[in-house]
């Protein structure tokens, strides 16, 4: 299983980025082997390139901070679970996700209401 993490540094001790579009690195973590591929943020202002990388790797989830509408739509349309890991190190956020203790990102505003433009599975932040 692959998990994407938007990070403000180069290692597992780095903090999860407050904003997806301004992260320094996107980590694609293979949770089975704990190997990590890193991608430098190309600086595209809407985060669409990074969101497409999450989809390309068929990630089960993304751990990040705030998402732009464009990045949210790309990720949610592919039924990828979205978690808010702001304030946590990448290592801690991955562990918290595994224990189901990270808050789900259900819509671009970060509230608990569903974005009705996506299917029902996206309202839960993930697909079953």
- pLDDT tens column, 45-60: 999 999 999 999 999 9
- Can you list the domains of the chain with their CATH numbers? 2-123 (3.30.420.130)
Contact 96, 89 (CB under 8 A): no
Q: What sign results for the dihedral spanned by CA atoms 105, 49, 88, 62?
A: positive
Q: Are strands 25-30 and 35-40 parallel, antiparallel or unpaired?
A: antiparallel
pTM of the model: 0.88
Query: Looking at the DSSP assignment, which residues form a beta bridge with residue 40?
Result: 25
Q: Is 62 helix (H, G, I), strand (E, B) or coil?
A: strand
For the chain, which ranges sit under pLDDT 70?
Answer: 111-128
Q: Is 71 helix (H, G, I), strand (E, B) or coil?
A: helix
pLDDT of residue 109: 80
pLDDT of residue 128: 37
């Amino acid at each position: 299983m692959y998990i994407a993490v938007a990070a403000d540094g180069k290692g597992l001790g780095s903090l999860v980025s407050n904003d997806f579009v301004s992260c320094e690195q996107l980590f694609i973590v293979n949770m089975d082997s704990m190997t990590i591929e890193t991608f430098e943020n190309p600086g595209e202002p809407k985060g669409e390139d990074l969101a497409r990388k999450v989809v390309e790797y068929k990630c089960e989830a993304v751990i990040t901070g705030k998402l732009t509408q464009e990045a949210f739509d790309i990720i949610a349309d592919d039924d990828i679970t979205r978690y808010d890991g702001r304030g946590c190190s990448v290592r801690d956020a991955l562990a918290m996700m595994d224990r189901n203790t990270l808050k789900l990102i259900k819509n671009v505003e970060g509230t608990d209401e569903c974005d009705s433009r996506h299917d029902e599975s996206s309202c839960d932040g993930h697909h079953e």
